[in-house]
Structure 1
Amino acid sequence: MNSKYLEIDGVLDQLEAAIREQRPFSLVRVGDGENIVMSQETVWTTEQVLKERWAIKANRGQKGLRLPNLQLRDEVAASLQRASLVGVLPLGDLTIKAPDYLKRPLTDMLFAHFGISPALTCHACVNRELVQMPRFWRMLAGKRVLLVTREIEELRAALVQEPYHLNIAAALPFDSWDQMAETLQWIVTNQHSFDVALFSCGVNAVVLAERTAALAGKVGIDFGKANNIILNGRPN
């Protein structure tokens, strides 16, 4: 991967400039879920994919998607190719609990397969850092924020209060991949009603954040489990 790797301050610089200049920007992230979705009939057989614990949980309705889903595979890969900044796990990283073969080694195989070469990368768990940085919340102050997640009421209630004081312009409930088309349609139709969108909806967030930047010209952030940190003080 010939990308320039940004530490957290560099990530904040990029986000802050995009928000200030009101230009499109997408921050997306690749973890074990994204890797598994992209592995279908590319570097693995569907049969191999469906044996993974993550895939079993997905097919029980716990991940916001069901497998096999080749359309989502292709959309995730395309969004990773086009995104402004892509979070990847460093080699040997222990931040997430998945087995190592589902982490960076698999990302590298998939990026090679799909020809994905992000100009800018950062740590895949950057969302967990952002949520704890006062500078991140300061740059959102006074901006109109769109929330897209399953826990819409709890998250909205938390973010309008101390210490965040966000202006939540709209909040869309998002439970599963079936809502992708209508959610993107809403984002395009209502693009003048928000400045920044935070997506906490699993693998779907990669596509939603990148498409929000491309189609609506806004800043889209794959916020992942940051909502759990806000609500419960921990990512899981």
Structure 2
Amino acid sequence: MTEPSLRKPVKLAAVPSISQTRKTRAPAKAAVKPKGVKSAAPTKPGKPPLKKAPRKAAGGKGKGRAFSRRRRVNGKRKMPVAMQSRSEPPNDLPQDRRRSYEQGFQEGLIEGGERLLQEHLPSDMIIPDITAREAIAAGIETLKERGIPLLDSAAVYEELEAALREKRSYAFIRLGDGELLTLAQEKVLSLEEVRRAGQFLPYAGVTIPNPEARDELAECIKVASLVGVPMSRHPYFQPLLFAVLRAHGIDYRELRYTTSTMNYTMAEQGLLLRLFHGRKILIVGDVAEQLRQALADKGLEVVGTVTPVNGYYDVARVVAEAMQYDYDIALVAAGIPAIPIAVHLAGMGGKVTFDFGHLADRMAGLARPERQ
């Protein structure tokens, strides 16, 4: 049996000279496909025409320097208040305030855990020497049957390698807070809350409101070969993930998962360079030229670049331009638009596509705001 390929792809409207969308999906390889995970149901074909945005529209990741400046505070990316939980105080705090910060953080951590533990302990007994950490660990053991398997780096590498070797469609996409907030528009969160929590969204390629982007992202999730999901328990990451899947009628049991930081993990383990060796690479995104040079310096073959990506409404043009190249794998670093770009290229071009994210900046030696 062969590796999992792309499910029935979403049709991309208003893209000139693009061949008919593929309708089939190769069966999954039993040795790699996680146990108990089913294949996704086919999606409804057809999407509304994509509008072409003016050149000055907000770009994808790495696009729009004005937006990039707005999102930085002391050289770091500005995060929503609800996301700013950290165990280490800011480096620029005076020593006395730093000690107070650390003390307050530890006290809050203990108080929160002990209060939750007290709420659930039986009233007719005491359990000697129990800690909140121990109670949580014991509880997780009983919940494992509800768990969803995540592919590790070796399994992801094997799937990508098999798809490249067999020249099959394969779209690896990743979801972060930007994608999830876009999906949440008027489905889970009000537009006001999305704007408040996602002040960075124009920088990432989507200006709110944008129901077209919301609905297309949902369709792309349904057909992607592999979905990288956040491990963070902050409100706009993993909790929002399952809320938006339910809101869009997507059965999470029908999807196949890995972590949203798998791109970094594979790079750190040397798996990406091994995967790229001897393959023709196409790079899509605003740092495509810089990444091209970095990969060429490592002896890899980059056959072309598509740059820039001017936000969500530039997806049709980008896909049409990318389809003109003969390549094996496309690395797409274009913010939120990376997802429809990757899915359409895989579905219509029969290629392997990889939502590469800010790893492109790191590999190109460019400084970008770090995610917290």
TM-score (norm 1): 0.87
Large movers: runs of 4+ above 4 Å:
none
Match of 1:121 among 257, 260, 264: 257
1:131 corresponds to 2:272: no
Amino acid in structure 1 at the alignment position of 2:219: A
Higher-Rg structure is 2
Amino acid in structure 2 at the alignment position of 1:73: R
Q: Is the 8 A contact 2:157 2:275 kept in 1?
A: no
Q: Is the 8 A contact 2:287 2:361 kept in 1?
A: no
- Give, in angstroms, the shift of residue 135 of structure 1: 2.8
Unaligned runs of at least 5 residues, structure 2: 1-145
Q: For residue 226 of structure 1, what is the aligned residue in structure 2?
A: 359
CA distance in 1, matches of 2:294, 2:322: 23
Q: Is the 8 A contact 2:306 2:322 kept in 1?
A: no
- Give, in angstroms, the shift of residue 91 of structure 1: 5.4
Amino acid in structure 2 at the alignment position of 1:125: T
Q: For residue 211 of structure 1, what is the aligned residue in structure 2?
A: 344
Match of 1:160 among 296, 304, 310: 296
Q: 1:56 to 1:166 in 2, by over 3 A?
A: same
CA distance in 2, matches of 1:128, 1:23: 24
CA distance in 1, matches of 2:268, 2:295: 13
1:186 corresponds to 2:338: no
Q: CA RMSD in A?
A: 1.9
- Give, in angstroms, the shift of residue 65 of structure 1: 2.5
1:104 corresponds to 2:238: yes
Q: Is the 8 A contact 2:173 2:224 kept in 1?
A: yes
Q: Is the 8 A contact 1:128 1:229 kept in 2?
A: no
Q: Is the 8 A contact 2:288 2:306 kept in 1?
A: yes
Sequence identity (%): 28
CA distance in 2, matches of 1:111, 1:133: 31
1:57 corresponds to 2:200: yes
CA distance in 1, matches of 2:272, 2:330: 14
Note the alpha carbon deviations across 1:57-83, whole angstroms, 9 max, x for none.
334xx2223221111111111101100
Q: For residue 331 of structure 2, what is the aligned residue in structure 1?
A: 198
Higher helix share: 1
TM-score (norm 2): 0.56
Note the alpha carbon deviations across 1:180-224, whole angstroms, 9 max, x for none.
111112233x26x11100001111111111111111100010001
- Give, in angstroms, the shift of residue 234 of structure 1: 7.2
CA distance in 1, matches of 2:255, 2:154: 17
CA distance in 2, matches of 1:208, 1:31: 16
- Give, in angstroms, the shift of residue 131 of structure 1: 2.1
CA distance in 1, matches of 2:357, 2:171: 14
Q: Is the 8 A contact 1:80 1:86 kept in 2?
A: yes
- Give, in angstroms, the shift of residue 225 of structure 1: 1.0
Higher strand share: 1
Q: Is the 8 A contact 1:76 1:207 kept in 2?
A: yes
Q: How does 1:9-88 map to 2 (within 5 A)?
A: 9-52=154-197, 55-59=198-202, 62-88=203-229
Number of aligned residue pairs: give it. 221
CA distance in 2, matches of 1:200, 1:42: 27
Match of 1:90 among 222, 228, 231: 231
Q: For residue 96 of structure 1, what is the aligned residue in structure 2?
A: none
CA distance in 2, matches of 1:182, 1:212: 12
- Give, in angstroms, the shift of residue 175 of structure 1: 3.3
Unaligned runs of at least 5 residues, structure 1: 93-99
